[in-house]
Amino acid sequence: MVLEQDRYTYRVTWSAEDMEYVGLCAEFPSLSWLAGTPEDALQGIRQVVAEVVADMTTNNESIPEPLALRPYSGKFMVRIPPELHRQLAIEAAESGVSLNRLASAKLSQS
């Protein structure tokens, strides 16, 4: 059985400031959990999220939709300086690809 909190996006990273691992949840950016091991940090943040979701449900509050379940169109707009736009258009033309394909390739390298 998949629990609601299991559908959220979790990350565990080292916190040099705290000298412990920190568990985070992208859909609940204000929540975190510190622990001595990555496994404990993940378990801790999952438990905190479960408690928050239960509390929000009890209070009839809107619960964030998991990122994994949200629909994405594959389109977004980015504003860049005109000179960079020109440079990218030239690079795309010289490479024989569309500006969209060039930008997509560059973003996927990140």
pLDDT > 70? residue 110:
no
- pLDDT band, very low/low/confident/very high, at 1 (cuts 50, 70, 90): low
Q: Does 48 share its domain with 101?
A: no
Has this prediction a pTM greater than 0.85?
Answer: no
Domain range for 51: 4-68
Q: Does 19 share its domain with 62?
A: yes
- Conformational region of residue 80, where left means phi above 0, alpha means psi within -120 to 50, and beta covers everything else: beta
Tell me the per-residue pLDDT of 22-41, one tens digit each, with 9 for 90 and over: 999 999 999 999 999 999 99
pLDDT > 90? residue 4:
no
Q: Domain tally for the chain? A: 2
- For residues 69-82, average pLDDT: 93
Q: Does 12 share its domain with 40?
A: yes
Q: Does 55 share its domain with 93?
A: no
- For residues 53-67, average pLDDT: 95
Determine how β-strand 20-25 pairs with β-strand 10-15: antiparallel
SS3 76: coil
Q: Does 37 share its domain with 61?
A: yes
Burial class (CB in 10 A: 0-12, 13-18, 19+), 84: exposed
pLDDT > 70? residue 85:
yes
